[in-house]
Every structure is written in C-alpha cells, then in structure tokens.
Structure 1
C-alpha cells in the first residue's frame, strides 16, 4: 500500500548535534500508521524543506518514506496560493472570496505530477494507492494514466462544495477529472458526496451509477466515510494520573468557575470571532458575570503569511481586549486567550477541566476536536456545543447544536449549557461518547480499504 499525502508522517527535529526523524502527531498519521505497518508499504509526501537538496528515501517505523521536494516558489503558489487561497475558501462555502490565478494553477499541476510520479516509481503490480486531501486532487488521474490497472483511492478531508460554487473555478473540469482517476472517492459526509456526484455529472462525461458514477468505462464509487480519532489513545491519556492532577490544578487556577473552552486553528472557517461576540452578549445581558464563568480560547497559529489570517488574528485579539476591558473584574478575567499550539498532554488537561466545549465552525469537513473532547469525558460530565455546519454534527446529534452565524442563538445556547442539569448532561455525554467509541479512526481506514478492495 502506498499513501500519498501533502506531508510526511514524520518531521526532522534536532537532538544534540544531529537531526532525527520523529513521528508527527495528528489524526491522519495515527489512522494510517497501523495500516502501513500491517500491510507493508510506503508514504509519499513533502519533506518539510524548501531549500537545499532533496531528502533520500528512508525507513521509518516499519515502512518506507519517500520524500517529495518542493521549492519555496512552488510552496508559495501550489500550497499558499492555489491550495489555500483558491481551493480552501471555495470548499468552505466561499466564506472568503476564492482567488483564481493562472500563476498558481500551473504549479499546482506540476507539484501534483511530482507526487504522482513518486508514487508510480515505487508501485508494484498489486499495490494500492491512497491519495489524501485537496492539495492533491489531480494525482489520481495522473497515476491512472501510467498505471491503468491500479487500485486508487482518494479521501477529501474538507467539505466538497455545491455545484454552483464549484462552477466558478476556471479549472473545474480538470480537478473533477483528476478525482475521477480514483476507484473510490471518500468524503466526510453524504452531502459532500452528493455535491461531487452532481458536479461531476454536469461538468464531465461521468454518468450516474448506483454506487457513484460511470466514467471512462469504470465504476467510480463516491461515498461518505466519516473520519474519527484514536479513541484508546485519548482515553488512556484522560486517565493518566498526572494529566488528571494537571486538570484539577487548571480548574483551581480559575477559582473553580465553570470553564467554557474553545480549541481551534486560527482560521476564518472556525467561527472564533462570532463565538467571542456571543459570549460578550451573555455578559452584556447580565445573565452571568466574569466571576461566574470564564471563556478560554486556544487559537493555534496557522497560515500566518496569508493576509486573511493576519486580519483575523487582529480582529480576535481586539474582541478579547474589548470583552475584558468591559466585563473583567479586578480579580476575575472574562476571556483567557492563548495564541499557540498546546502539547497533547496539556490539551487533554484542558478538555478534562472544561465544563462546556464550544466547537462552532461556519463550515468544517468533520472537526475532530469535538470527538476528542467527548471521549475524554469518561465520567460523562461536560456539555458539547456544536455547529450544525460541522461534519461531526451528523454523528453527534446529542450535542447542543447551534447555528454559528447566530450571535443571539449562540448566546442562548451558552446560557442553556451552563444551566443544564446534571442528569441531562450525563445522558447526552454518555450517548456522545458511545457514538465515538463505536466508530474509531481504525474503523474509518478499514471501511475505506474494504471498499477500495472491492469487498
């Protein structure tokens, strides 16, 4: 089996005077690591550098790593440009206007071909290839062109937009035909799968078929395969005595006030700004004061060189300052804002300490933070407030679902979450936890690979 993804599952870190490769954290790595170790295979991805010489293939943790070298100019155009300023906003309901530039499109084609060539170069006759995410949507057809008999899968971790949005992209046919090179195309939910099927029928020669589409004499399956998390890993951490003690210290540091927690990349799709304004509305109403509850917002830096993200950071920090300036007391802060990534153990301690978890993106393929919070609540305490536009909402319908664009509605839901009686909290959280436990990240990869194998 060969995994083709934007990044490698390992990163170079300095230890003493030498550099070593360490396994990267993250859901995709934890999902596919066991699969590759069990089946044997390779991972093709960017080596994390943009200068100097390309890194040679090497063995890591039971399988082969094949680095792809991408120059700084290509990263600017293929990744920062086409992937994140064209595709990302387009696939997230055009919350920001996508930009369409030919100078970004051609590097996207060239880098996709480089990834495809790297996979082709190591493929055996019976190898299966699994391509990951929106940065590499052309790669399936490129691999198919050289290996027509290969079993090729593709999984899109973001939403797939409605056809009327996708239609705006000048290279819509090329992207669709790139995806149609796969045998199985996986999406986070049924809506995205149907959006793709309708769009492919409109802009390509693909025809509807009971399992998906017929294209160039092949059946292409397009279906939902909702991703999940490594449940046992998170639950083991949640029961680690040191982490439990850290969570208790964390609560004590906030005077045992109810904690409303948000953990997000600082991305305009995540709805952090509206969430803050909703909490501000609760404080304005006087339902609660800063001594009654605290909001803690962890904002993980991302894409800092892109103007939209820099502007969002300024906006969020202005809101935090305004809320604290208006509603904080001399001994009680209203919002505690952290602009950095947290180590996994510190993050789990935050999950354990939080009374209310706010996951309110405007649009999200899945959102694994919601699932991480739920499985760490082994005592079935806490409340999950979840955007109805997150992919996770179709599975986690025992959460308190909210429209993330509705400031008053979200303020009402914060009040409701804080007032919810213990029995109702327990009932909802137990149902949520059982749901996530019944479909782990390993179930996700197994179900996809079973369909790809034609079983």
Structure 2
C-alpha cells in the first residue's frame, strides 16, 4: 500500500510509517435493535400496524424508504416494479409497493425534475394497473415518524433499496430488526402475534450500497438495469416461506451482533491496539512541515 511495508492482522492492515503504526480497517456501522424493538410496545405503533394489516390484508407488500435524491434510484425502482406488473399480471391486484420518500434536503433543477418524474411514474402505474379498492403504488412523500416506519417494516414482505450511489444505508438492517420483532413474552399485549407472522423477510438491495456485502441472503441487483431490479422483485415475491425464514435468520444473526454499540466498541479497541506502543516513543519533526515525524523508542 503506497509502496510501504504493511502486514495484515485481525482483519485490518497495519502500516509502519516513520515510527508510527497506522491501522486501516473497514468498519461498517450498525443499528440499535433495542431501540427499534422497544417501538413494538408503543400504542401508536400498535394502532398504525393494525391499520396497515387491515388496509393491505392478503396482499404482498414491498417497501422502500428513501430520501428524494438523484442517487437513491427511486424512479428506477418504480419503473422496475411497473415491469413486474407488465410481465407477471398475476401480481396485479395482489402486490403493493409502499414507497416512503423523505423531503429533499436541498433544492435545484435536478431535484425538481426528479420530483416530477417520480410523481408521473406513480400516477402512470396506478392508472394502468389500479382498480377500485386497489392501488399498486402507495406513495408517501412526507416525514414518517419512527413508530410508523417500524409499523411499515413489520408488515412488509420485502424491502427494496435501489440506490445508484450510497453510503452505508441502514434501511435493510432496520427492516430485518422490525421483521424479527421482540422475543415472545418480552413485551406488551399483542406482540406475540407480531412475532409469529414476522420472522421471515426478503431484501432486494443495490450492489452499490455499503451494507450489501454483509447481507449474504439478499438479492443483489444493478439499479441501472430495470430488468435486473424487476427480476429481483419477482424472485422476492415468489420465494417460499421456508427460504424467507432461512434468509431472515442469517441476516438477523449478523444485524443483532454487529450493532452500533459493537461498532463503537470495536473502534475503541482497535484504536487502543494500534497506539499501544506510542507512549514509549519520542517523535522528532523532520523538515519544515508538521506532517512528517520519525519515532524512536524512548521514555517521555
């Protein structure tokens, strides 16, 4: 790396540079499952979840939660869903895509055009495939509070993330936690019913989001390819319950262990490990800059 000598230890790269031990490690963050699972006992969650179960009874639900951003691939997701309904008419009347879109954090011509494009695609899909009592796309363009987001995740059969460029994106992790639900007997009234129906899940995830490599059971897609995303959605809808459970169990084990607390503790532990010998060094500046040092063992 950079022409410097290095060694690999404990999943990280250690580089010796002018007496300093520089550690490099990929450390993806996680979510706080406890916070999300606490939401199952909130009255507002239970009311909203009951309402959603009543509204979408007997239907297969896909959910997406994205910012209104040109890199989130919302319009690509909608076009892929439209392709699914075109090529597999058996899902018309049975499948619903719930797309939650947070308000944009900035403004500009590109965002305005994207906003108009998304609305047009939603209107077109609902006009083509909708019927009295059925809208294939449930589009929410507003802030969705935590209790409501948990409710949507808890009832959805599949979460779809089609960002073309993104950072970590914790939506899939949150979805897995909400589909897991609290342990039986751990919470309030009605939570056992939530658990019984929830411990299976499916994920359709863009290969360009940071969480993708950690979700080995997810269906990875190229968001730029409408066909790829459509095939992923179709596969998710057709997956058997047993396979859904197996995939969910695999994801839950990872998400429940690699929490945000685990991430923070790992960071502190690695920082202490890499700087273990620094207190026994004397550092001398070289040249006129402040960024080049040479360390030698010594006593401070």
- State the TM-score, normalizing by the size of structure 1: 0.52
Shift of 1:239: 5.2
Structure 2 matches for 1:125-144, cutoff 5 A?
none
Give 1:350's match in structure 2, choosing from 149, 152, 172: 152
Match of 1:423 in 2: 242
* 1:452 and 2:271 aligned: yes
2:282 corresponds in structure 1 to: none
Q: CA deviation at 1:440?
A: 0.6
Cα displacement (A) at 1:254: 2.6
- SS of residue paired to 1:288: helix
> In the TM superposition, what is the alpha-carbon distance from 1:304 to its structure 2 partner?
3.0
Deviation at 1:411, TM superposition (A): 1.1
Q: Would the alpha carbon gap of residues 241 and 364 (structure 1) be closer, same or farther in structure 2, given more than 3 Å must change?
A: same
Whether 2:35 is the aligned partner of 1:209: answer: no
Q: State the Cα deviation string for residues 414-449 of structure 1 (Å, max 9, x = none).
A: 112111111111111111111100111000011111
Unaligned residue ranges in structure 1 (runs of 5+): 1-196
Note if 1:395 corresponds to 2:214: yes
Q: Is the 2:150–2:178 contact (alpha carbons within 8 Å) kept by the matching residues of 1?
A: yes
Q: Aligned pair 1:307/2:109, yes or no?
A: yes
Once the two structures are superposed, residues 293-315 of structure 1 have per-residue CA deviations (whole angstroms, 9 ceiling, x without a partner) of: 11110011123323332222122
SS at 2:25 equivalent: strand
* Aligned counterpart in structure 2 of residue 260 of structure 1, from 58, 62, 81: 62
Q: Distance in 2 between matches of 1:420 and 1:272?
A: 24
Mapped to 2, the partners of 1:207 and 1:309 lie a distance apart of 44
1:240-274: per-residue Cα shift (whole Å, max 9, x none)? 56524421311211343111110011122221111
Count matched residues. Answer: 252
Q: Which position in structure 2 is the counterpart of 1:437?
A: 256
DSSP 3-state at the match of 2:211:
helix
Is the CA contact (8 Å cut-off) linking 1:244 and 1:352 kept in structure 2?
Answer: no
**1:270–1:360 contact (8 Å) kept in structure 2:** yes
Label 1:347 to 1:310 Cα distance change in 2 as closer, same or farther (>3 A). same
Tell me if structure 2 keeps the 8 A contact 1:227–1:444. Answer: yes
SS of alignment partner, residue 413 of structure 1? helix
1:106-147 superposed Cα distances (whole Å, 9 cap, x missing partner): xxxxxxxxxxxxxxxxxxxxxxxxxxxxxxxxxxxxxxxxxx
1:217 deviation in Å? 5.1
Unaligned residue ranges in structure 2 (runs of 5+):
8-12, 181-197, 277-300
Question: Hey, what's the Cα distance between the residues in 2 that align with 1:215 and 1:326?
Answer: 63
